[in-house]
């Protein structure tokens, strides 16, 4: 499976990259806008922190297929290994189709329905990103979407992977992975929830107390 951190915060990347088994960094326009650094400055800085093997993702803003393709090509000049996020709206599906014919890796983003995801996949997207919590917030069932989409990809388009997004809790992440999603991206908050375990901390503190009592110092 592939785990990604959904952030443009360089300090957070510096802190969590050495700890988490991350495959790369995802961003979206809100996240980039919030950080204040334009992609031309941000992407090289992230690349410098995560190294040449990591996969980075950034999204186009254009609304027509042609303009999306132009933006995708410009983004790839900033980072030649970038996976370009394209909204899976009608114009976006067209852009995915054209970009994949040119060998450019894309992710169909803002997936709210299984057929929308399958179309983006069939058009050539390497990944499709269902928004789990946002689907729930719009009266749907985000996990059910992931389950159905994964079944359809398995049956009809196994070259495309789900990169599930929009999580608030580690349990949602676990459910998506159990449904077969090959990749997930989590916010720094959700990543920290995944890392923290008060019960594990308490168990280690009990070992330390026992050790200190017998040997005085805390080392082997």
Q: Residue 1 or 203: which CB sits closer to ligand E4P?
A: 1
Residue among 94, 101, 88, 162 at smallest CA distance from 126: 162
Residues numbered 32 to 71 that lie near ligand E4P (CB under 6 A) are none
Verify binding: residue 134, ligand E4P, rule CB under 6 A: yes
Verify binding: residue 131, ligand E4P, rule CB under 6 A: yes
Verify binding: residue 100, ligand E4P, rule CB under 6 A: no
Active site residue 85: yes
Residue of 6, 71, 79, 175 that binds ligand E4P (CB under 6 A): 6
Q: Are 194 and 173 in contact (CB under 8 A)?
A: yes
Residue of 84, 104, 153, 165 that binds ligand E4P (CB under 6 A): 165
Verify binding: residue 133, ligand E4P, rule CB under 6 A: yes
Task: Name the residue with tokens 């330390």.
Answer: 208
Q: Are 175 and 182 in contact (CB under 8 A)?
A: no
Q: Are 25 and 14 in contact (CB under 8 A)?
A: no
Residue of 7, 8, 23, 28 that binds ligand E4P (CB under 6 A): 28
Verify binding: residue 109, ligand E4P, rule CB under 6 A: yes
Task: Name the residue with tokens 């970009």.
Answer: 99
Verify binding: residue 166, ligand E4P, rule CB under 6 A: yes
Number of residues that bind ligand E4P (CB under 6 A): 11
Verify binding: residue 84, ligand E4P, rule CB under 6 A: no
Q: For residue 81, count other CB atoms closer than 10 A to its CB.
A: 13
Q: Residue 88 or 119: which CB sits closer to ligand E4P?
A: 88
CB of 77 to ligand E4P, least distance (A): 22
Residue 207, CA atoms < 13 Å, CB-side half-sphere: 8
What 39-42 contacts at long range (C-beta under 8 Å, 24+ apart), as own/partner pairs, is 39/75, 39/78, 40/78, 42/8
Distance in Å from the first CA to the final CA of the chain = 35
Burial of residue 12 (number of CB atoms within 10 Å: 0-12, 13-18, 19+)? middle
* Catalytic member of 45, 81, 85, 182: 85
Active site residues per annotation? 85
Binding site for ligand E4P (CB under 6 A): 6, 26, 28, 109, 129, 131, 133-134, 165-166, 187
């Amino acid at each position: 499976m592939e785990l990604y951190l959904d952030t443009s915060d360089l300090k957070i990347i510096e802190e969590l990259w050495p700890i988490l088994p991350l495959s790369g960094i995802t961003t979206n326009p809100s996240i980039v806008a919030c950080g204040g650094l334009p992609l031309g400055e941000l992407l090289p800085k992230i690349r410098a922190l995560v190294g040449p093997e990591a996969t980075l993702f950034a999204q186009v803003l254009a609304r027509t297929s042609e303009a999306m393709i132009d933006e995708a090509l410009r983004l790839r000049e900033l980072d030649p290994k970038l996976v370009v996020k394209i909204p899976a709206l009608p114009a976006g599906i067209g852009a995915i189709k054209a970009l994949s014919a040119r060998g450019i890796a894309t992710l169909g983003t803002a997936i709210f329905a299984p057929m929308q995801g399958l179309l983006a996949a069939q058009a050539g997207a390497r990944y499709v990103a269902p928004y789990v919590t946002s689907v729930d917030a719009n009266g749907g069932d985000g996990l059910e979407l992931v389950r159905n989409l994964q079944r359809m990809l398995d049956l009809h388009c196994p070259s495309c992977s789900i990169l599930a997004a929009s999580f608030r809790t580690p349990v949602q992440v676990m459910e998506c992975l159990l449904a077969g999603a090959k990749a997930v991206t989590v916010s720094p908050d959700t990543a920290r929830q995944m890392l923290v375990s008060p019960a594990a901390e308490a168990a280690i503190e009990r070992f330390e107390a026992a050790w200190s009592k017998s040997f005085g110092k805390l080392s082997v």
